[in-house]
Amino acid sequence: MAKISPSILSADFANLERDIHDIEKNGGDWVHVDVMDGLFVPNISIGIPVVKALRPVTALPLDVHLMIDRPIRYVEQFVKAGADWLTIHVESDTEENTLAALRKIRELGCKPSISLKPGTPAKAAEPFLKECDMILIMTVEPGFGGQKFMADMMPKLKELRTVLDHVNPQCILEVDGGVDGNTCALCKENGAEVLVAGSAYFKAQDRAAFVKTVQA
């Protein structure tokens, strides 16, 4: 069964505790937290104080996605704030710093993950695969919610699953961007085990039913 990680980027920021409890009530598995710095991506969202504030209000894993420049500067602070999974982008720093950041995340007791933008080939992930517990494939350009799903990312997803089965079979695949009640099936067919849904979840007339559709 797939997991769903609703993204609070589409939640009501004035009522985040309420909306996270709603995720719990409707059977969500994780809480996806999109962190943007206005440099690596053109938008600015939330940061370390919000993650720290969210940690006491839910027992669900906090799936923190750092869309920031040179994340090695902040990974320790995000882990200490309460992240359970911490994803950094391969495009955001040098290979050396990315490897160091992933190792630091694990040393601090958090699960390390990398993410690939749509224009980044699967091969770019290869230096990091043995250091990760998860790979996040973006199926939209990172930075804004509500974008259209990019089905042409599915070959990349499938390729990474094949490679991981040889080098790190325990590593799971997550998809983020345009996931809804229809596109989730395509993602799962191509190897996705965790699906991030923002606007599709929060705009669903029956959120519990949407969660079950994605998990099925």
Q: Say whether 34 is catalytic.
A: yes
**Run of H or E residues at 85:** strand 85-89
**Dist. CA 135–CA 6, nearest whole Å:** 17
Buried b (16+ CB within 10 A) or exposed e, 131-154: bbbbbbbbbbebbebebebbeebb
**Dist. CA 78–CA 96, nearest whole Å:** 20
Q: Say whether 133 is catalytic.
A: no
> Annotated catalytic residue: which of 22, 29, 34, 63?
34
Q: Do residues 198 and 145 make contact, with C-beta atoms less than 8 angstroms apart?
A: yes
> Annotated catalytic residue: which of 19, 22, 29, 176?
176
Token readout for 216 is 């099925």
**Run of H or E residues at 114:** strand 111-116
Supply the residues annotated as catalytic.
34, 176
